[in-house]
Amino acid sequence: MDVRIGVLGCGDIAARRTLPALARTPGLRLACVASRSRERAEDFAARFGGVPLGSYDELLARTDVDAVYVCLPTLLHAHWAGKALRAGLHVLVEKPLATCEDDARRLFALARERGLVLRENFMFLHHARHRREAGLLGSGVLGRVRALSAAFTIPPRPDGDNRYDPALGGGALFDNGVYPLRAALRFLGTDLTVAGAVLRTDERYGVDVSGAVLLMTPDGTSAQLRFGMEHHYRSWYEIQGSAGTLATDHVFTTAPGHEPLLRLSVGQDDSEIRVPAEDHFVAALGSFRDGVLGADLPVLERESLAQARLLDEIRARAVTVTR
């Protein structure tokens, strides 16, 4: 039996990647799409299927929906994820799930109380490259991991983009900074703290447009992270150990047909490992489906909660520069 999905919000990422991927994911079916604009919902339904709805609450009241995908501006994520959970629906929500740790903890507690799945939609974590990297790290080929460096930067967005609107939770930290942050949590564990941070704010918009963060583990292993939306495009990370280094590009927004290349250096020897192409949107949706059907991945909850905590710490400790 298919898991029936309702979509809250007709955002760009839903149209470009998520809904086309949903149509290719076995065991999932698009039941309805809701927007504050009935016309926009009708346009999405004509393109992707499902019943068009002009109200989010109308979707949550339906009996033909098992789960919702929340694709709304950042500051609306926690509110509508909570309403969906209270309506008895499983939730897949675009990142970040919440803009503060208190909200994230409240939502996961609610999901556990109701026996529901709550997932933050970080597609890149589900790509085959990460299974290959996990195998390499587990083999000990890098030795003891000593440092991680990561960057996700994009060019400026058009005026009027939601990412420039502070009332909607805009800013580079919430939009693309969470990706290298999540990579650090995946490879270094959740016991990270903020050693330093810089946020660069554009006074035209009142949001951060770039930044850098230094994280550390209790034993001093470090993560140096860069992010922003005023840059040349970069989507990369490198893991450095006592015996070797592993690096890869095009990691956070991998195209479905792209075959990732892992560059491994051990001692004086350099090698390249090609990973088969995979649509990580389909992989992420398949993981959510499996969760709804009973699979348990507690590491994702731990990482989401640690991420929310670190976002609080970064904003509290960052040196802010206004241009």
From its phi and psi, is residue 250 left (phi > 0), alpha (psi between -120 and 50) or beta? left
Q: Give residue 11's pLDDT band: very low, low, confident or very high (50, 70, 90).
A: confident
**Which pLDDT tens digit goes with each residue over 65-110?**
999 999 999 999 999 999 999 999 999 999 999 999 999 999 999 9
Cβ 63 vs Cβ 12: under 8 Å: no
Active site residue 83: no
Neighbours of 258 (CB within 10 A): 17
The answer to whether residue 323 scores a pLDDT higher than 90 is no
- Residue 316 to residues 200, 309, 310: CA-CA distances in angstroms? 14, 11, 10
Domain ranges within the chain, ordered by starting residue: 3-121, 124-322
**Which pLDDT tens digit goes with each residue over 107-133?**
999 999 999 999 999 999 999 999 899
**Which pLDDT tens digit goes with each residue over 234-246?**
999 999 999 999 9
- C-alpha span between 304 and 122 (Å, rounded): 10
> Which residue in 219, 215, 209 sits closest to 149, CA to CA?
215
- Give the domain 124-322 fold: Dihydrodipicolinate Reductase; domain 2 (3.30.360)
| Residue 170, both tokens | 């805009």
- Average the pLDDT over 180-197 and give the result: 97
**Residue that is written with structure tokens 């299974």 in the block:** 131
Catalytic residue among 4, 17, 95, 200: 95
> Which residue in 29, 272, 317, 39 sits closest to 173, CA to CA?
317
**Which pLDDT tens digit goes with each residue over 272-309?**
999 999 999 999 999 999 999 987 788 899 999 999 99
Q: Is-above-0.85 flag for pTM? A: yes
The answer to whether residue 35 scores a pLDDT higher than 90 is yes
323 burial level (CB within 10 Å; 0-12, 13-18, 19+): exposed
Residue 127 main-chain phi, psi, to 5 deg: -75, 150
End-to-end CA distance of the chain: 54
- C-alpha span between 203 and 312 (Å, rounded): 22
Burial 7-28 (b: 16+ CB within 10 A, else e): bbbbbeebeebbbbbbeebeeb
Q: What is the pLDDT of residue 1?
A: 80
> Which residue in 316, 292, 283, 288 sits closest to 300, CA to CA?
288
Q: What is the mean pLDDT of the chain?
A: 96
- Give the domain 3-121 fold: Rossmann fold (3.40.50)
Cβ 282 vs Cβ 24: under 8 Å: yes
**Which pLDDT tens digit goes with each residue over 12-33?**
899 999 999 999 999 999 999 9
